[in-house]
């Protein structure tokens, strides 16, 4: 008897992770750097290599015959129906326009399904994570950017141009006038993403340093450790009690919580699952997020759950594998 087995692959701008999923169990996970600057063909070759390695290792340990197929969550706007990259950011030069299904089927000899990586993340949490067993859920990935995926009755909403789920690109009063990576201004990502919070911190420092507005606390601040150079260091500064760092996280979290409250009033999901790097923060970030979220809910949506993602970086792999579940399909 030949059993179905899936190689799940998560293709990001910096690394490619892959693992086997057999009977819902993720195993044989490996990770390699993405040869992003070498172009799409090099990335495809690397995906094929790591996929073959997972198959070889899993087949050796699994015993019996398996019917392998590939499920991919990939960076960029992905059309699951055609398996092509509709558009992509500069982090993967030449990625836009790549026909992932055709290219990887040709390299591997295996059937391939593909979806956007954040959408895979949403499918993974719904299949086996924080939103398992719900009829509707919104996954929000809050980190370098802010993305999301909405699932209703087991179906991922992909939308026109496969563009659904860009939860970071709703207007936010706290982001008024701030440039957003999408090219627009005033979107919540421009104040609530990790890099945006670091920018807020730097503006707060600049403002506090100016003689006209410097409060007493600033003197102490200037005597502290070297200025945080990334969001991780800023989080450490906040944990150590740095007032401006705390304020920057508070501003970002409130902006995101407010946006997610508004989105709840439109989608009314059972649960909003928050993952990504910012979700790893403590109550410094979660408390204002929850408070601002609850403040936006109308009576009919009050009580909507806002919880932390459970599967970490494995979510995209579990979700990519779920593309091969019989009941899974996308909805527009």
Q: Is 160 in the site for its own copies (CB under 8 A)?
A: yes
Whole-number minimum distance, CB 170 to its own copies, in Å?
3
Sheet arrangement for strand 146-152: 305-308, 271-275, 136-142, 146-152, 155-157, 330-331
Question: Residues 118, 259, 274, 306: which binds its own copies (CB under 8 A)?
Answer: 259
Give the count of residues interacting with its own copies (CB under 8 A): 53
Q: Enumerate residues 39-78 that contact its own copies by CB under 8 A.
A: 77
Task: Give strand pairing partners of 66.
Answer: 3
Q: Is 132 in the site for its own copies (CB under 8 A)?
A: no
Question: Residues 13, 39, 93, 184: which binds its own copies (CB under 8 A)?
Answer: 184
Q: Is 81 in the site for its own copies (CB under 8 A)?
A: no
Q: Is 86 in the site for its own copies (CB under 8 A)?
A: yes
Q: Can you tell me the distance from the alpha carbon of 216 to that of 206, in angstroms, rounded to the nearest whole number?
A: 15
Distances (CA, A) of 54 to 48, 62, 67, 116: 10, 12, 14, 21
Q: In which element (H, E) is residue 171 found?
A: none
Whole-number minimum distance, CB 331 to its own copies, in Å?
5
3-class DSSP state for residue 30?
strand
Question: Which CB atom, from 111 or from 143, has the smaller least distance to its own copies?
Answer: 143
Q: Can you tell me the distance from the alpha carbon of 210 to that of 190, in angstroms, rounded to the nearest whole number?
A: 24
Q: In which element (H, E) is residue 220 found?
A: helix 217-222
Q: Is 266 in the site for its own copies (CB under 8 A)?
A: yes
Q: Do 146 and 282 touch, CB atoms closer than 8 A?
A: no
Question: Residues 4, 67, 109, 135: which binds its own copies (CB under 8 A)?
Answer: 135
Question: Residues 22, 101, 142, 157: which binds its own copies (CB under 8 A)?
Answer: 157
The closest alpha carbon to 148, from 275, 269, 307, belongs to: 275
Q: Is 34 in the site for its own copies (CB under 8 A)?
A: no
Could you list the residues that contact its own copies (CB under 8 A)?
Answer: 77, 86-87, 135-136, 148, 150, 152-153, 155, 157-167, 169-173, 176, 182-184, 186-187, 258-259, 261-263, 265-270, 295-301, 304, 331-332
């Amino acid at each position: 008897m030949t059993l179905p087995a899936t190689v799940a692959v998560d293709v990001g701008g910096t690394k490619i992770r892959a693992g086997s999923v057999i009977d819902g169990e993720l195993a044989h996970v490996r990770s390699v750097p993405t040869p992003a600057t070498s172009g799409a063909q090099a990335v495809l070759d690397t995906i094929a290599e790591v996929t073959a390695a997972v198959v070889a290792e899993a087949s050796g340990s699994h015993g019996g015959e398996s019917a392998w197929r590939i499920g991919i969550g990939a960076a960029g706007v992905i059309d699951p129906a055609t398996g092509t990259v509709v558009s992509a950011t500069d982090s993967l030069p030449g990625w836009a326009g790549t026909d992932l299904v055709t290219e990887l089927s040709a390299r591997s000899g295996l059937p391939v399904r593909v979806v956007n990586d954040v959408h895979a993340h949403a499918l993974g949490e719904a299949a086996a994570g924080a939103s398992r067993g719900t009829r509707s859920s919104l996954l929000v990935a809050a980190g370098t950017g802010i993305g999301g995926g909405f699932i209703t009755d087991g179906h991922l909403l992909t939308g026109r141009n496969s563009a659904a789920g860009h939860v970071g690109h709703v207007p936010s009063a706290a982001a008024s006038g701030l440039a957003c990576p999408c090219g627009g201004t005033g979107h919540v990502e421009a104040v609530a993403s990790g890099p945006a919070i670091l920018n807020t911190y730097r503006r707060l420092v600049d403002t506090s340093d100016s003689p006209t507005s410097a409060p007493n606390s600033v003197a102490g601040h200037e005597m502290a450790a070297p200025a945080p150079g990334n969001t991780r260091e800023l989080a450490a500064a906040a944990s150590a009690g740095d007032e401006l760092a705390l304020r920057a996280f508070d501003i970002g979290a409130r902006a995101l919580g407010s946006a997610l409250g508004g989105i709840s009033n439109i989608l009314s999901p059972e649960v909003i699952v928050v993952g990504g790097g910012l979700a790893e923060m403590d109550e410094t970030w979660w408390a204002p997020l929850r408070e601002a979220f609850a403040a936006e809910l109308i009576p009919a949506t009050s009580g909507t759950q806002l919880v932390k993602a459970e599967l970490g970086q494995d979510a995209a792999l579990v979700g990519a594998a779920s593309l091969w579940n019989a009941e899974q399909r996308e909805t527009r």
